Amino acid sequence: MSSSLSVSNGDKMDELAIDVEGITKSFNGRVVVDGLAMQVRRGEIYGFLGPNGSGKTTFLRILCGLLKPDSGSGTCLGRNAITESGAIKRRVGYMTQRFSLYEDLSIAENLRFVADIYEIPNAADAVNSMLESLGLQRRGNQLAGELSGGWKQRLALAACLIHKPELLLLDEPTAGVDPKARRDFWEEIHLLAAEGLTVLVTTHYMDEAERCHRLAYIAYGKLLAKGTLGDVLASARLTTWEVSGPELVRLSPQLQALTGVEQVTAFGNKLHVSGRDAEAIERAITPFRREPYTWQKIEPGLEDAFIGLMQTARDNFE
């Protein structure tokens, strides 16, 4: 995909597209989003991480005006995020986990439908421009229901962009698509951000999270960490050792049972052994630091931090 989209960017890059605090939402007495604060700069790709059920989708729906929070305040695209949701909606593109497509309509017909909803002038020209921008022009007459996951993803992105939004909300946009489609998608997102589009994206893929400019991690509705990749890794406060050798599948439960060891995770033919107390974990693994095993202390990765942060969170079902 190659971008030739014109994205509105009248504001400076260091200004905030999203600046909210205290956002809270409950369903049936259970708090799903708990006092969440977020600041996202214009032109930034902001990764939103957290386990299933952590409140990510609910928060996105609040931002784009589909849900009203129980409490909270702030702005989105310079508008009051709580009271001016109608004005915000027209300036936001929202791509859901399940692509919102009419499968019995063609690619061009899907885009024309969205263009008409937004009352875009010269809708036919806008559709043709979008087809060309995202490499869909030769497939314009193909039914959406006949497309592969990657092409459906591309069409869903086109539908979100046709009204030239200033903010793009992406809810696990690459789930179920192949690695090449994922890579192409992220290349397009970086091109759009370079042109001034602000992107808030939820993902479970650690390699995708590392492509973001900054990150926020929530679990069970609460914000646990935010900042650059380095900031998030540091906030987990993990000490991680890597071990290789034979019969790791038998070694793993032995290590997991040790005081000071909080997680043992297989990475290929190695294990990552982590904990927040550096001295305790080193004492715990000392008896195992002998042949036939090879140990070395390493910097924890984002997946190590992800799991470690999740273990510190309290389940909001409790």
pLDDT score, position 315: 56
Q: Do domains 16-91+165-232 and 239-299 have the same CATH topology?
A: no
Residue 317 pLDDT > 70? no
List 243's β-bridge partners, or say none.
271, 295
Averaged pLDDT for residues 295-307: 91
Q: Are 224 and 309 in contact (CB under 8 A)?
A: yes
Q: Are 131 and 111 in contact (CB under 8 A)?
A: yes
CA dist 298 to 211, 238, 242, Å? 21, 10, 7
Average pLDDT of the chain, as a whole number: 89
pLDDT score, position 62: 94
Domain ranges of the chain: 16-91+165-232, 239-299
Residue 66 pLDDT > 80? yes
pLDDT score, position 3: 44
Higher per-residue pLDDT: 45 or 3 = 45
Within a 13 Å sphere around the CA of 90, how many CA atoms are in the beta-carbon half? Answer: 9
Using 50, 70 and 90 to split pLDDT, how confident is the model at 306? confident
CA dist 191 to 56, 113, 188, 198, 283, Å? 24, 26, 5, 11, 48
Q: Which residues of 198-210 are buried (b: 16+ CB within 10 A; e: fewer)?
A: bbbbbbebeebbe
Using 50, 70 and 90 to split pLDDT, how confident is the model at 251? very high
For residues 38 and 145, give the distance between their C-alpha atoms in angstroms, rounded to a whole number: 37
Residue 51 pLDDT > 90? no
pLDDT score, position 21: 96
CATH class of segment(s) 16-91+165-232 = alpha beta
Averaged pLDDT for residues 287-299: 95
pLDDT score, position 258: 96
pLDDT score, position 318: 52
Q: Are 237 and 75 in contact (CB under 8 A)?
A: no
Q: pLDDT tens for residues 94-150?
A: 998 777 788 999 999 999 999 999 999 999 999 999 998 888 888 889 999 998 888
Q: What share of the chain is helix, strand, coil (3-state, %, to 5)?
A: 35, 25, 35
Using 50, 70 and 90 to split pLDDT, how confident is the model at 14? low
Q: Mutual orientation of helices 107-117 and 123-133 as an angle, nearest 10°?
A: 130
pLDDT score, position 10: 41
Q: Which H or E element spans position 236?
A: helix 229-236
Averaged pLDDT for residues 237-247: 95
Whole-prediction pTM: 0.87
pLDDT score, position 13: 46
Residue 1 pLDDT > 80? no
Residue 213 pLDDT > 70? yes
Q: pLDDT tens for residues 176-191?
A: 788 888 999 999 999 9
For residues 241 and 30, give the distance between their C-alpha atoms in angstroms, rounded to a whole number: 38
Q: Are 280 and 239 in contact (CB under 8 A)?
A: no
Q: List strand residue ranges (DSSP E) for the chain, in order.
A: 16-27, 30-41, 45-49, 71-76, 79-80, 92-95, 167-171, 198-202, 214-219, 222-227, 239-244, 263-267, 270-275, 294-298
Q: Which range has highest mean pLDDT (12-21, 94-103, 151-160)? A: 151-160
pLDDT score, position 96: 86
Residue with tokens 């080193």: 282
pLDDT score, position 11: 43
CATH class of segment(s) 239-299 = alpha beta
Averaged pLDDT for residues 193-199: 96
Residue 7 pLDDT > 50? no
Averaged pLDDT for residues 274-291: 95
Within a 13 Å sphere around the CA of 60, how many CA atoms are in the beta-carbon half? Answer: 25
